Amino acid sequence: MFRVTRRYAFAASHRLHAAELSEEGNRRLYGKCNNPYGHGHNYLVEVSVRGPLEGTTGRVVDTAVLDELVRREVVLPFDHRNLNQEVAVFAGVAPALVPTSENLGFEICRRLKGNWKQVFPGEWPKLEKVRIGETARNIFEVGADEIE
């Protein structure tokens, strides 16, 4: 069994603000990440798949197919967007998700998992995990088998 990881990048802005909390509670919890006009990140996304080495091709995953899926479901909808306003799951009133990197990683994994069988109809490869880097110090990881 092999594991293959591909890296992708997009830039987006967000503001961390939980509608259920008070203004003061939000400031205390999120600090400068709660500043009203938002701020940006250059997000790095790593998508890991696993599967057996396919003898004929010598490959585990058709990376062009994976790239097209990630481009369609993640990079195009998120790149140069204001996540709080332009991405449905983070926009609007409660219960919109707060666009933390945890929730962003969750949403990316959910999108890839939801569209996986459409582009990879066989048994392999399987989506294993998504890692998202928000800053040089933060990496968030979610396993595809750990979400609905």
Helix, strand, coil percent values for the chain (each to nearest 5): 40, 30, 30
Cα–Cα distance measured from residue 16 to residue 25, given in angstroms and rounded to the nearest whole number: 12
Backbone dihedral angles phi then psi of residue 48, each to the nearest 5 degrees: -110, 135
By CB under 5 A, which span of 24-32, 33-41, 89-97, 121-129 interacts with Ni ion?
33-41
CB of 141 to Ni ion, least distance (A): 18
Residues 63-102 that bind Ni ion (CB under 5 A): none
By CB under 5 A, which span of 25-33, 78-86, 88-96, 107-115 interacts with Ni ion?
25-33
Active site residue 134: yes
* Beta bridge pairs of residue 82: 13
Identity of the residue, 33 or 97, whose beta carbon is nearer to Ni ion in the bound complex: 33
